[in-house]
Chain A
Amino acid sequence: MDSYLPQINATVALGAILLQLFCVFVLLHLIFKKNSKVTRFVSDHVLFLCFFISLASVLISLFYSNVVGYPPCTLCWYQRIFMYPLALLFGFALYKRDRSILPFIYPFVILGIVFSLYHYYIELGGSTLIPCSSTVPCARRYIFEFGFITIPLMAFTGFFSILLGLLCARKQSRQVK
């Protein structure tokens, strides 16, 4: 598996970048356009899109911990706590076609965003002269693609895209009322 890891890392990182670009696109429509087709599309398919993003996040994190063998750190576990239930919740909501679940998702994604941003901040910090100690764990960075994509940034992208989906659905439901 290790021999294919660079290709897999690059593919996952490209996916994260694509999702980030899509988030910027949706965010601009959400802020500046009143009756945007983009936000309506996201709102109409919010359960499916959020289910896909959360499931992909779960599978990617399990792949890195259980297949590749990267041990999850404490902060990684906190992010998992807030992402893993979302795949189940969105999956069940999609099956039942029940959008009433959406307001309950906010605490998960907001806390997930806080932890992933904090983790990313820690990964970027540190003096260049102080080496990573072999005994005292420092910020471990398992993946570093294209000079900025790391696992916590991927987690942030996942949480933020779900948050945008929720906001699009909220905006759409308000406009309908």
Chain B
Amino acid sequence: MNAKIFLSIVIIIIVLGVGGFLLTQKPTVPGKYDAFATCLKDEGLKFFGAYWCPHCQKEKSWFGTSADLLPYVECWDKDKNTQNALCTENKIEGYPTWILPKELAIHSEIDPVVCEVQPGPEGQPEECAVGKKGSRYFKSWIFPDALVNSEKDPVKTDGIWNFVPGSRTSGEISLEKLSEYSSCELPV
């Protein structure tokens, strides 16, 4: 009887293997966000992440099959189990981080919480700590739906904060926000 069960298990494993192979085949039809992802790449945005980071996996999943076209930079050296030199040189402190080559305009009715470069002066909010929303290299602006790091202070005009080119956002960014932060249009 155990031989029958063993045979059944072998057959199940073969079926699962075929299923796994078929499920991971790249589709021949273009993905919905192919043009959007390509546009982000052409505009010079960079998406820094780590293969184990849940937020990065989620961000990629929003692009579906178009995720392969993203300007993604893998930051983790699997062999050394540490961040690789490329991302350290780019002062990447968290994943995902998007570096935006053009001026970044954030629309917000609410004033952001501002964190100085860490370790900052005493009395700063707890969320400014490194490992939370603070940074060792940049000042941080915590908006309700965005976390921006920049070397220079933004210019505020009529509820819009304009950050200099090269600013970066940390944490998940929705596709709508990515479209807003670039000149790339989302497909209808």
- A and B are interacting partners: yes
A-B contact pairs, 27 of them (CB 8 A): A7-B20, A8-B20, A11-B16, A11-B19, A11-B21, A14-B20, A15-B12, A44-B1, A45-B1, A128-B58, A129-B172, A130-B94, A130-B132, A130-B171, A131-B95, A131-B170, A132-B53, A132-B95, A133-B93, A133-B130, A134-B83, A135-B93, A136-B131, A138-B54, A140-B52, A141-B52, A142-B52
Classify the secondary structure of B's interface with A. Answer: mixed
Which residues of A lie under 8 Å from residue B170 when comparing CB positions? Answer: 129, 131
Centre residue among A8, A52, A138 by max chain B CB count within 10 A: A138
Which residues of A lie under 8 Å from residue B12 when comparing CB positions? Answer: 15, 18
**Nearest chain A CB to B26's CB is how many angstroms away?**
10
Task: Please determine whether B57 and A141 come into contact, CB atoms closer than 8 angstroms.
Answer: yes
| Size of interface on A: residues with Cβ below 8 Å to B | 38
**Nearest chain A CB to B65's CB is how many angstroms away?**
12
State the CA gap A134–B24 with chains docked (Å).
29
State the CA gap A57–B127 with chains docked (Å).
39
Which residues of B lie under 8 Å from residue A142 when comparing CB positions? Answer: 51-52
**With A10-B23, A45-B2, A52-B9 given, is the CB distance from A132 to B16 under 8 Å?**
no
Which residues of A lie under 8 Å from residue B23 when comparing CB positions? Answer: 10, 14
* Chain A minimum-CB-distance residue to B1: A45
Task: Please determine whether A132 and B24 come into contact, CB atoms closer than 8 angstroms.
Answer: no
Query: Residue A139 at the B interface, CB < 8 A?
Result: yes
State the CA gap A100–B95 with chains docked (Å).
50
Task: Please determine whether B50 and A132 come into contact, CB atoms closer than 8 angstroms.
Answer: yes
**With A11-B20, A18-B16 given, is the CB distance from A128 to B57 under 8 Å?**
no
Task: Please determine whether B54 and A139 come into contact, CB atoms closer than 8 angstroms.
Answer: yes
How big is chain B's contact interface, by range? 35 or more
Which residues of B lie under 8 Å from residue A11 when comparing CB positions? Answer: 16-17, 19-21
**With A126-B54, A134-B93 given, is the CB distance from A69 to B79 under 8 Å?**
yes
**Nearest chain A CB to B67's CB is how many angstroms away?**
12
Interface string of B51-66 (1 = CB under 8 A from A): 1111111100100000
Query: Residue A121 at the B interface, CB < 8 A?
Result: no
Task: Please determine whether A133 and B131 come into contact, CB atoms closer than 8 angstroms.
Answer: yes
State the CA gap A13–B21 with chains docked (Å).
12
State the CA gap A173–B19 with chains docked (Å).
38
